[in-house]
Amino acid sequence: MERAEREAALDRNFRKLVRIVGENAGGQYSSIWSFKGGKDGFYFSARSTFKLLKVSLHANNNTGYFAFTREYFLSQQAEGKLASSSKTVHEWPLPLPDEFGAVQAASIKLPSRYMVSERHAYVTQGKVLVFGIEPESALEIGIFLANEGAATLEEKFRRIGSVPVFEVSIDGWFNVNIVVRSVDFDPAILPTSQQLNSAAVTNLVELERGKPMHGLNAMLWNAPAAREVLQIIDVGGVSLQPTCE
């Protein structure tokens, strides 16, 4: 395939929605993550939860939101499963870029060790960008805001080991750059079972009392303060053992 044909294929498959997935040395995959720009900002989520939970970076007030989707929030409220009056889990003022360079707004890490999914049909269809990742590492997807254009930013990203994937321009706002790189990953940073039991946890699957569930995915995230970076770690192969009353 000639370069022009490759670029045309990329444009057809990723013009409206960019999908990224990691593949480890054993041929297993991470969650698929989806990214898209809109008139009022930039949005992303794991494909498995895009109807339930998403991150949005709003252009009108330079604020980031980690929130339930409106449909899911209203359905959970109607069933009495959510007591909160707001669909927002966390919000924070975004870091703002200078005239040159870029600032990181979000980081999504997909650890190689916890990639357990089978090959998705999107891989064969060319609808997802696949990045191989070595053992004991993680694929990091970085979301950067910039006033500077991609043509001059590319070399700056490559200096930190990042490969620019796409630039999304939001009218009247910043350019949003999606970049990827391989980073070392120490599983010791993940919370223990005891820490998870005392943490704020949101279940997006129905748990049957006393029945264990296996092969789940978990998203771990921080609560960034003003101008800080949202940090997400997405791990597969999680098991849950509900407690019996």
Predicted TM-score (pTM) of the model is 0.88
Does residue 245 fall inside a structural domain?
no
| Closest among 111, 112, 129 to 47, alpha carbons compared | 129
Per-residue pLDDT of 207-239, as tens digits, reads 666 677 777 888 899 999 999 999 999 999 877
In whole angstroms, what is the distance from residue 112 CA to residue 23 CA? 7
- Is the sign of the CA dihedral 52, 204, 108, 235 positive or negative? negative
Residue 226 lies in a domain: yes
| Nearest-angstrom CA–CA distance, 145 and 209 | 44
Query: Per-residue pLDDT averaged across 121-146, rounded?
Result: 95
Q: Please report the pLDDT score of residue 13 as a whole number.
A: 58
- Is 209 a domain residue? yes
Average pLDDT of the chain is 88
DSSP 123-191: HHHT-SEEEE--TTEEEEEEEEEESS-HHHHHHHHHHTT-EEEEEEE-TTS-EEEEEEEEEE--GGGSP
pLDDT at site 131: 95
pLDDT at 27: 97
Question: Is residue 109 a part of any domain in this protein?
Answer: yes
Domains identified in the chain, total number: 1
Distance (Å) of CA 230 to CA 63, 179, 226: 12, 15, 10
- 122 lies in some domain: yes
pLDDT tens by residue, 40-52 = 899 999 998 888 9
Residue 129 placed within a domain: yes
233 three-state secondary structure: strand
- The DSSP code for 116 is -
Host domain of residue 133: 3-240
Query: In this structure, is residue 206 part of a structural domain?
Result: yes
230 sits in which H/E element? strand 230-240
Residue 61 has φ and ψ, to the nearest 5°, of -135, 10
Range in 1-15, 28-42, 193-207 the model is least confident about = 1-15
- In angstroms, rounded to a whole number, what is the distance separating the alpha carbons of residues 52 and 162? 30
Tokens of 29: 């995959």
